Amino acid sequence: MPQKIVVTGGAGYIGSHVCVELLASGREALIIDDFSNSHPEAISRVESLGQCGVEFLKADLADAGDKKTIIERVASFGADGAIHLAGLKAVGESVAQPARYYQVNIGSALTLIEALEAANAKSLVFSSSATVYGDLNDNPVTEDGRTGATNAYGRSKLYIEEILNDIAAADGAWGVVNLRYFNPVGAHPSGRIGEDPNDIPNNLFPFIAQVAVGRRAKLSVFGNDYETRDGTGVRDYIHVVDLARGHIAALDYLSKGNRGAIDVNLGAGRGYSVLEAVAAFKRASNREIPYEIAPRRDGDIAEIYADAERAEKLFGWRAEKDIDQMCADHWRWQRENPNGYEDA
């Protein structure tokens, strides 16, 4: 029997790509999503790309009114485990609205844990983040580095990791992989699914893409006075398809009977500055990318990139696509879907 995996946030940017890879691996999916930052069209395209249907429940894991329905549906689905991607994710917004971030992100995780407990499906791949490291470590950052997030988004991820670690320590039947990933960019090479923010993009690449396609006049570069090679922030960008395959590799690891909780970085292992990313996107799109320098954002750090050796050692996984492929695929998605899924 194929494994049955719950994917929370499965209609979102990362979730849709994870679901395509999940179906390709021969597994079945139950997507739980409330479309707060996603679109129903993504599910249709996942089914088309995966040549397989998925089950779907529209629900908010952070809403107490949806909790009973979620628990019952996970049980009736016959879940074997879950990939937890649902939650709020904007660093700047989390600084302004910390209570909301703790309530939604931690509340969602607790509901899913309860549902998996009730279904006796104690395998979980958690979408954590490199923001848990803050700016306390030398680069490249290993999983043994110090943690100390500089914003509420990162702290919510760190708190969920600690909750999952405690649960796995208390009950040896649990297997948990906390995937600390860096900066997902790009899109499926088909151009059918990609990042489609509901509002003003909070991340660099969708903003660059919307400038390139003419939806926005210019890019704001937040800070050019960091201690980096060109003064702009440096990040480890990873192709979203590589990232999605990392989730499948983590599921494979848990499927072999590995229990307990482990932290694993998913990153490409090198950093690019904002201006280097802009230059790469300009090459891919053959479009000018006007930009202006804006003040630094609260909660941002100067530079971070991954040591991803643990993922290769445990999962046999490593990032394969370079910055030019990331930009080419991201541009194909934006060019063919200039208004995102609304074009459908």
Closest CA to 263 of 220, 202, 305, 314: 314
Give the torsion through C-alpha atoms of 66, 68, 71, 75, to 10 deg: -130
153 given a catalytic annotation? yes
Catalytic residue among 13, 101, 133, 153: 153
The residues, any chain, with a CB within 8 Å of residue 172's CB and separated by 6 or more, are 259, 260
Distance separating alpha carbons of residues 198 and 179, to the nearest angstrom: 25
Q: Which 3-state string (H, E, C) describes 150-182?
A: CCHHHHHHHHHHHHHHHHHHHCCCCEEEEEEEC
Residue whose token pair is 């394969």: 320
Print burial letters for 61-93: b (CB count within 10 Å at least 16), e (below 16). Answer: bbeeebbeebbebbeebebbbbbbbbbbbbbeb
Q: Mind telling me the catalytic residues? A: 153
